[in-house]
A and B are shown apart, each in its own frame.
Chain A
Amino acid sequence: MKKLILSSVFAFAASALSVGAGAQVIVIANPSVKSSEVSKDELRDVFTGNASALKDGSKVVPILLKDGPPHEEFLKTYIGKGDTAYRAGWRSLVFSGQAAMPKSVDGDAAMVALVAHTPGTIGYIDKASPHEGVKVLEVH
């Protein structure tokens, strides 16, 4: 029983630490987006197709990374789903005529380039990646 409790405590601690790792992802937007901050609920709504604007009225278009640690971390931290379930949600919208699939890009550099040059776009990258030409949104 002690072993079970110990392993549960360890698993919980590991889980907590991995959530902490989510802070390594930053949310970026084209400078045309008025907001300088965004809530987790807004992020989830925008990146699941439930909203196309932030609370202040800024219209935004989500851009996705195709894969990689920042993508997995973003989905885990802000959407609460893995990649397969997340994309299945978008496919529901596509095949029922409710939305088009968001653009996906190959990596942080491509993400920054696209967001920097496309008004209204919003994306995410690893905190350590260069991000000139975009604004960083504070998530609260």
Chain B
Amino acid sequence: MKRLIAVACGCVLAAAVPGCAQSLDDLNIQIHGYVTQGFLYTTNNNVFTTRSSDGSPAWTDAVINVSAQPNPKLRIAVQGRYFLLGNYGNALTLDWAAADYKADDRFGVRFGKVKTPIGLFNEIQDIDPSYIWALLPESVYPIDNRESYLTHYGGVVYGTLAIPHKFGKLEYRAFGGEGLYTAKDGYFVNQLEAGFNLPNDIKGPLYGGALHWRTPVSGLMVGASALKDNTWNALYTANNGALQGTETLLANTQPNFFASYEKNKIMVASEYTRSWGDQLVQFPDTPDSYSRNDDRGWYAMASYKITSKFTGGGYISQNADHQAPISSSRHYNEWVVSGRYDFTEFLYVKAEEHFIHGTGLAYDMNLNPNLQPNTNLTALKVGVTF
């Protein structure tokens, strides 16, 4: 909490100091925001800690963004969010807050609480107006686990590397700082319900980078990123706090490889990622508990702008934990068809049908005493943006 306040105060001060000598107009202050309301219905299992098999409207996002640009190279911005998805969120949070200094196209730096630039969609995975989908592919961007991956405290340097024009453009991002996996995220939901907790969450150093090659083929981008976590550990409790121990996440690296083609009315994209996780849980006078997962996820998606207001698309998304025993809980595969209709620049609706096979998702076991191997999910969403 102290860090949140410090970051917010830093940004306000950074905005206010130049403001002493400039009018509000010179600061180029902008305010933007959006609100989305979703509805989930599933034929079998309850997803994302909602009671979706009865139909659930517990899916809301509201975002407000304030930015100032006291000079052409410096920009300061703060973004707040209310997020609700089933039992997740239901709180106002500081989404990110950063000062950005862009010397030129070759070099820029932003610092504060910043978006972590990994993969094709991570920086915008929680920005619903940006894409056609009501839900991004769960195999790579699980909505119930996103809080731990969206941002970090630290910085990002970014820019364009000089290569001969005939080879296109090569954009880089390098980042570092402190990451935090919150116990309120999907990966921890069943442990919480079983009486375990991470009272201080779990955090530690992380760093990484990304390269985006905008190829000479107009609209085609190919990229890769890597996120490296050092070994993290934190207080871990059991029996609702009666037992105190330690949870350790061993160092690991998460690579993402991706490509997208976007031209005129067509968008095609694909991504692959692999996430290793070695966890060690230690309590006094009890044997250590060691577990490992090896999640490999990929998706392929395409969309086509059928009219100026309506876009249709679909994707296939697959994820499997290669350390898990063979069963329907080892994988999570889905076929998805989707449509988005923009009534105006400011108002849109989305409708999506997911045909899901496997239960390798963070299901709340209290809500799913009899998980079924297959389920269909209907997702509807309306969004307003300004």
Contacts and interface: CB of A to CB of B under 8 A. Distances in A.
A137 interface: no
A45 to B, nearest CB: 8
A58 B65 CA distance: 30
Nearest to A39: B165
B105 A95 contact: no
Given A84-B308, A85-B305, A92-B127, A97 B32 contact: no
Contacts of B104: 52-53, 59
A14 interface: no
Contact of A91 (B32, B79, B115): B32
Contacts, number: 80
A89 B77 CA distance: 18
Contacts of A96: 115, 123-124, 127
A90 B310 CA distance: 19
Nearest to B307: A82
Interface stretch (B2-10, B67-75, B312-320, B324-332): B67-75
B30 interface: yes
Contact of A95 (B28, B32, B72, B75): B32
Contacts of B308: 82, 84
B4 to A, nearest CB: 16
Contacts of B102: 52
A82 B105 CA distance: 26
Contacts of B79: 95, 97
B342 A101 contact: no
Counting chain B residues whose Cβ lies within 8 A of the other chain, the interface size class is 35 or more
Given A94-B32, A97-B114, A97-B115, A84 B345 contact: yes
B263 A100 contact: no
Contact of B130 (A45, A82, A92): A92
B110 interface: yes
B127 A100 contact: no
A36 B134 CA distance: 44
Interface string A71-85: 000000000111111
A87 B96 contact: no
A82 B127 CA distance: 20
Interface of A: 41, 45, 50-53, 55, 59, 61, 80-85, 87-89, 91-92, 94-101, 120
Which 4 pairs between the two chains have the least Cβ-Cβ distance? A92-B130, A96-B123, A95-B127, A84-B342
Interface of B: 28, 30, 32, 34, 63, 65, 67, 69, 72, 75, 77, 79, 96, 98, 100, 102, 104-105, 110, 114-115, 123-124, 127, 129-130, 160, 165, 169, 214, 218-219, 263-264, 305, 308-309, 342, 344-345, 385
6 contacts: A51-B105, A82-B308, A83-B345, A91-B127, A97-B114, A101-B30
